Amino acid sequence: MARKTNKKTSKKVSAKASKKSPRKAVPKAGGTKAVSPRAKTPLNKIPLNKTPAAEKAAGKTHALAEGMAAPTFRLSRDDGSSVSLKDFAGRNLVLYFYPRADTPGCTLEAADFTRLASRFEAADTAILGVSADPQAALQRFRKKHALSIALASDETHAMLEAYGVWGEKTFMGRTFDGILRTTVWIDPKGKIVRIWRNVKVAGHAEAVLDAIRGVFS
């Protein structure tokens, strides 16, 4: 009987001891309480996970710069053939990027480059309009407006992104991704001479021609 009483007593004592002795927290390395790195960093210093739109707003779409080698490309043309950067080696190339075939601003721009095509040719300069329209749409566009300049299609956006002209746009309160109206002048050695961004169509083709003639006249 004595042994049974001792076991019960020892269990009660052990239970009381566990209640009176709270569990001690194990100290973190260095003997201080761990603190979240974000808690120590001022709010204006915390790096944010940028969305594609934020990256574009921060200038990611403008990676291309004057003096750089022009990115290579191979695209489908309006007539069903293909066109590449190396096809223009040894002469100037004006790449003009426009949002959509057969819309008012894009039609005016294409008509202006067509009107001045012979003068660009005299300045040893080729013209290539590029959009994300399918090849069939470009063919209709060229035929409808009797365009003499070449048009190329980049439905994958790979070349458009390489040239920094595919980005976030806003129109009538709506935000979307599309082509930023841009013109790039590439010299006979494949170097970028000048980039016109946020192009205003009126008078633009003349301004590009004047810039080229000012160097090569």
The answer as to whether 31 is a domain residue is: no
Instruction: Tell me what percent of the residues of the chain surpass a pLDDT of 90.
Output: 65
Query: Residue 103: inside a domain, yes or no?
Result: yes
Inside any domain, residue 12: no
Quick one: average pLDDT of 140-155? 98
What are the φ and ψ backbone dihedral angles of 124, each rounded to 5 degrees?
55, 45
Upper half-sphere CA count for residue 134 (Cβ side, 13 Å): 2
Sign of the alpha-carbon torsion through 199, 201, 203, 206: positive
Give the DSSP letter of residue 23: P
CATH number of the domain at 178, please. 3.40.30.10
| Lowest-pLDDT range of 22-26, 74-78, 145-149, 156-160 | 22-26
State the average pLDDT over residues 160-181: 91
The pLDDT value given to residue 23 = 53
The single-letter code of the amino acid at 52 is P
Average pLDDT value over all residues in the chain: 81
Residue 53 or residue 150, greater confidence? 150
| Predicted pLDDT at 4 | 47
pLDDT at 169 over 50: yes
Q: Is the per-residue pLDDT at 68 higher than 80?
A: yes
Residue 10 has pLDDT above 50, yes or no: no
Alpha helices, DSSP H, located in 21-95 = 37-40, 52-57
Residue 121: partners with Cβ closer than 8 Å, 6 or more residues away: none
Does residue 7 sit within a domain? no
Does 54 map to a domain? no
Task: Please check whether residue 62 lies inside any domain of the structure.
Answer: no
The confidence score (pLDDT) of residue 215 equals: 84
User: Does 40 fall in a domain?
Assistant: no
Q: Is 185 helix (H, G, I), strand (E, B) or coil?
A: strand
- pLDDT value for 36: 41
Kindly provide the residue ranges of all beta strands, DSSP E only, lying in the chain, ordered along the sequence. 74-77, 82-84, 92-97, 125-131, 150-153, 166-171, 174-179, 182-186, 192-196
Does position 15 have pLDDT exceeding 50, yes or no? no
Taking 80 as the threshold, does the pLDDT of residue 20 lie above it? no
pLDDT(170) > 90: no
**Is residue 106 annotated as a catalytic residue, yes or no?**
yes
Task: Kindly state the tokens that stand for 163.
Answer: 């040239």
| Domain ranges, residue 150 | 73-216
Q: How far apart are CA 37 and CA 164, in angstroms?
A: 36
pLDDT score for 21? 47
List pLDDT tens digits, range 82-130.
Answer: 999 999 999 999 999 999 999 999 999 999 999 999 999 999 999 999 9
What pLDDT shows up at residue 134?
A: 97
3-state class of 183 per DSSP?
A: strand
Q: How many CB atoms lie within 10 A of CB 159?
A: 22
Question: How many domains in the chain?
Answer: 1
- Per-residue pLDDT at 168 exceeds 50: yes
Catalytic position from the list 94, 106, 152, 165: 106
State the amino acid at position 79 in one-letter form.
Answer: D
